[in-house]
Amino acid sequence: MPLLDENVRNEVRRELAGLPGAVKLLVFTQEFECDYCAETRSLAEELSELSDRIEVEVHDLLGSKAVAEKYGIDKIPAIAVLGEGDRDYGIRFFGVPAGYEFSSLLEAIKMAASGDSGLSPEAREALKGLKNPVHIQVFVTLTCPYCPMAVQLAHRCAVESEHVRADMVEASEFPHLANRYGVYAVPKVVMNERVSFEGALPEKAFVDHLLEAGR
Amino acid sequence: MAELKFLVSTGLGRALKEGHLYDLVIVGAGPAGLTAAVYAARKKLDTLLISKDVGGQTLLTSDIENYMGYHYISGKELAAKFEEQVMKYPIDIAVGEEVVSLGRAGEDFALTTASGKGIRARAVIVATGKRSRPLNVPGERELVGRGVSYCAVCDAPLFAGKDVAVIGAGNSGATAVVDLLVIANRIYVVDIMPGWRADPVLVERIEAAGEKVGTFFGHEVVRIEGRDRVEGIVVRPRGGGAEVKLPVQGVFIEIGLIPNSDLAKGFLELNEAGEIVVDCRCRTSVPGVFAAGDVTNVPEKQVIIAAGEGAKAALSAYAYLIGQRR
C-alpha cells in the first residue's frame, strides 16, 4: 500500500510541477531495514513517480561505504538531496521526513532543482562572510508545527553557502543523539557542536548564530 | 510504530508588498484569521494575511472532535485544510512575520513587523490568538527547553519511557496526558483545583489508564528543580501542608492562556485579562479596526467559535470599507 494517498499525491504533483532542474535523492538504508528505513525508501520512490525530474538512488549504508562517507552519512534512514549534475548543496534528512517535515522535503527538492536558496539579499550578503565549514543539526519531532521553519532555514543556508551542511534529525529515531545534545524541546538547533539554541528563530538571528559558529 | 502522516503545506505563501496600502490586513492565521481571509477574498478585498505561523493554537491540539463536519480530525490536518482553502484565493500571505505595532496613519492604519517592514491598511482585523501562560515558579524560566515544555504535542515524543508531570487539569492538560499515555512511563497531574475540569470523554480515557497516572489535585507547584535539566518538581497542598517531591524529567505546563494583544496596547481598549474588547460586530474601540477569536473578550475559546468570529469580522470590515470608499 502506498504511503501517500491520492489527495496528497495530487498536492505533491502540483507542488513539484515545473521543477527547473533535475534532482537526485540518495537514500541510505540497510539490508535488514531499520525502523522507518523502508518507509523512507518508499517515500523517495513514490515522490519519483510524481515528477520525472526526480531520480532515486538507494544505497546500503555498509555496502556503499565509500558513497556514505563521501556524503557524510553515519546513520540511517538518511536522504541526501542533490541538484542538477549530482551537485551536493549539503541538504540531509536523517529519519523519515513525514508529518510536518514532509513539507521540508518538498521544499528541499524545489531548492535543489533551482539552486536558489530564497534567502533575503541581506542574509545572502552576510553568508558571504562565512569562511569556515559549519555543520547544522536541526532536531525535530514529526508533530512539531514550528520545526519545518528551522529545518528549511538551515537548508536554505546550505544551498546559499558552500561551507554549510544542514541536517534534519528526527529526535525520536536517534535517541542517543537527542541524549547527547540534551534535546528536551524542538526545534533544537546545534551548529558545529559549539552554538545551540531552541526555537524557530527569524532569518537574521539564525544567520547571526551561523556566522558565530563559523568564526 | 505510529502511523505516518504527510503534510504538504509549506506555510510559505505569497509575500507582502512593503509600503502598499491594502484594503484589509488580517493579523494572525489561526481559525479566526484564516476564516476572515476567505470571507475577505470572496468580497474581492485587496487583502494581506500576516502571521508567525499558519494554524495558530490549532496546531498544538492533537485531536479535535467538536469541529462540525469532522467526527475526528487532528489539529494539524484541520489547519492544513483551512490553509488549503485560503490558498485558493489570490490574496497576499506573509508567514513568519510578526506584527509588533499597530497605529493610525491619517485615515488609514500603519503596521510594522519585527523584521522592520512597514504596511498600510484601510482596515485591520486583529486575530492574534493566545499563548501559554507561565507558572511563574522558581526554576521554570531557567529550565525551558531543558524539560519544561509549553508544547506537549511538539515535545512529548522526546520523553519516551520517562516520568513526567502535567500541570493543569483542564482540557489542554487532559489532552497532554492523553498524548503522553502511549509515550511516557508515569504521569503526574497537578492542579490547584480539587479535580478534573476537562471534558468527561477525556477524563474517562485517562482514568482507564489506571495506575499510570497519579493525581495531585488541590496542590500547587512550589518550584521546578534541576541544574542542566529538570530533575523533579516540588508540590504542596494548597492552604499548607507537607511538600512532596516528584522525580520527573519533563514538566508540561498547561494552565491556560494569555492573549497576544501587545501590539494593541495603548491603541485599542483591552479588558483586565488583556483581551481586546469587541462588540457583537467584532468592532474594537477604534473604528476600522476589528478583532476576532481568542484574542478578544468573546467567551469560550473554541476553534468553531473563533472561525465564526473571523467570518463576522471580515463581513464587518467589508461593510466599514464600503461606507469609507473614496
A5: closest chain B residue by CA: B6
CA pair distance A72, A66, nearest whole angstrom: 10
> Do residue B154 and residue A36 have CB atoms under 8 angstroms apart?
no
- The phi and psi torsions of A144 (rounded to 5 degrees) equal -100, 110
Residues 6+ away with beta carbon under 8 Å from A127: A119, A157, A160, A161, A164, A207, A210, A211
Tens of pLDDT, residues A92-140: 999 999 999 999 999 999 999 999 999 989 999 999 999 999 999 999 9
A153-210 per-position pLDDT tens digit: 999 999 999 999 999 999 999 999 999 999 999 999 999 988 999 888 888 889 999 9
Residues ≥6 apart with Cβ < 8 Å to B312: B281, B282, B292
Tell me how close the Cα of A150 comes to any Cα of chain B, in angstroms: 11
Contacting residues of B for A148, CB less than 8 Å apart: 11
Cell of A193: 557542536
Q: Is the peptide bond before A77 cis (omega within 30 degrees of 0)?
A: yes
CB atoms A184 and B146 under 8 Å? yes
Is B282 one of the annotated active-site residues of the chain?
no
Amino acid at A176: H
Substitution target from A184, A190, A197, A207 for chain B, most B beta carbons within 10 A:
A184
| Cβ <8 Å between B154 and A3 | no
| Contact assignment for B145 to A143 by CB distance below 8 Å | no
Backbone phi, then psi, for A116, in 5-degree steps? Answer: -105, 125
pLDDT in 10s for each residue of chain B, 326 residues? 556 778 775 444 457 888 899 999 999 999 999 999 999 999 999 999 999 888 888 887 778 889 999 988 888 889 889 998 998 898 999 888 899 999 999 999 999 998 888 999 999 999 999 999 999 999 999 998 899 999 898 899 999 999 999 999 999 999 999 999 999 999 999 999 999 999 999 999 999 999 999 999 999 999 999 998 999 999 999 988 999 999 999 999 999 899 999 999 999 999 999 999 999 999 999 999 999 999 999 998 899 999 999 999 999 999 999 998 65
pLDDT number for residue B325: 67
pLDDT for residue A78 is more than 90: yes
Q: Is the dihedral of CA A16, A21, A24, A25 positive or negative?
A: negative
Q: Are B155 and B238 in contact (CB under 8 A)?
A: no
Neighbours of B244 (CB within 10 A): 15
Q: From the CA of B194, how many Å to the nearest CA of chain A?
A: 30
pLDDT (0 to 100) of residue B52: 87
CA distance A29 to B244: 48
Alpha helices in chain A (DSSP H): 6-16, 37-50, 65-70, 101-114, 121-127, 147-160, 175-180, 203-213
The arithmetic mean of pLDDT across residues A13-35, rounded, is: 92
User: How much is the pTM?
Assistant: 0.82
**Least CA distance to A201: which residue of chain B?**
B96
B294 catalytic? Reply is no
Contact between B36 and B313 under an 8 Å Cβ cutoff? The reply is yes
User: Which is the catalytic residue, given B155, B179, B191, B294?
Assistant: B155
Under 8 Å between Cβ of A4 and A12: yes
Cis bond before residue A148 (omega within 30° of 0): no
Contacts of residue A43 in chain B, CB cutoff 8 Å? 6
Cβ distance of A184 and B158 shorter than 8 Å = yes
Name which of A136, A152, A139 is nearest A181 in CA terms.
A139
| B7 closest CB neighbour out of A100, A182, A186 | A100
ipTM over 0.90: no
Q: Are A186 and B154 in contact (CB < 8 Å)? A: yes
Compare all CA atoms of chain B with the CA of A139 and give the residue at the minimum distance: B158
Grid coordinates given for A100? 510536518
Residue of B nearest to A205 (CA): B115
Q: Which residues of A touch B4 (CB under 8 A)?
A: 3, 39, 96, 98-99, 142
Q: To the nearest 10°, the Cα dihedral for B95, B100, B106, B107? A: 50
Is A202 in Cβ contact with B9 (below 8 Å)?
no
Task: Evaluate whether B191 touches B169 at the Cβ level (below 8 Å).
Answer: yes
Whole-angstrom distance, CA of residue B154 vs CA of residue B81: 20
